[in-house]
Amino acid sequence: MGYNSLHAQGLSACPYLAAYVVCVSASFASDRARTRGIFIITLCCIGAIGYILLATMEVTGVRYFATFLVCAGVFPAVALTFTWVTDNQGSASKRGAGLAIFGMLGQCGPILGARLFPESDGPRYAKGMWVCSGILLAAAAMSLALSLSLRWQNRSRDQKYGKSDLDHVPIEVMDLGDAHPMYRYVL
């Protein structure tokens, strides 16, 4: 954006601070609401808007604002997605395997990222920004599909076994995990 390295480093702290505040706030809010999907969808869309602004705008102030959107969208979405993975695994072994698989897939991002932003595309790197935006919008669509699928599965379980009280989960549910009839997925 035209700043020397010292100023650029100083200015980069603010978007990450905003991401921290949004991450903690979204975590508490999603716990209170007992849902993750809508928060992840919203955060992915916010991040995608930031990338679109970075790809299309040339005004430095708008581009700097877009970095806030990207950081405050992407990092909290990733944190909530990790939580969503563990929330919907019925046993400790499933949670461990789910986190390992999710972590391995997540580490493919840096491999792709190194190729999305070649020096020849600088200083705006529009192609990489568009790809990142598309990936975030795809993540939002997948989160929506997963939320709807989990909602359908919970309704099916409610019809088959009766309502489950999330505030008073019997110990057997924790022992059997998703094999127990009263187990319900976190939306």
The domain ranges of the chain are 5-143
pLDDT category at 1 given cuts 50, 70, 90 is: low
Q: What is the pLDDT at residue 181?
A: 74
When comparing pLDDT for 135 and 93, which is higher? 135
> How high is the pLDDT of residue 7?
75
pLDDT, one tens digit per residue, over 141-186 is: 999 999 999 999 989 988 888 887 666 665 665 666 677 777 788 8
- The phi-psi region of residue 123 (left if phi > 0; otherwise alpha if psi is between -120 and 50; otherwise beta) is alpha
Residues 6 or more apart whose Cβ sits within 8 Å of residue 139: 40, 44, 77
CATH 1.20.1250.20 assigned to domain 5-143? The reply is yes
Q: How far is CA 16 from the centre of its chain?
A: 16
Residues 36-69 pLDDT 10s: 999 999 999 999 999 999 999 999 899 999 999 9
| The one-letter amino acid at 136 | L
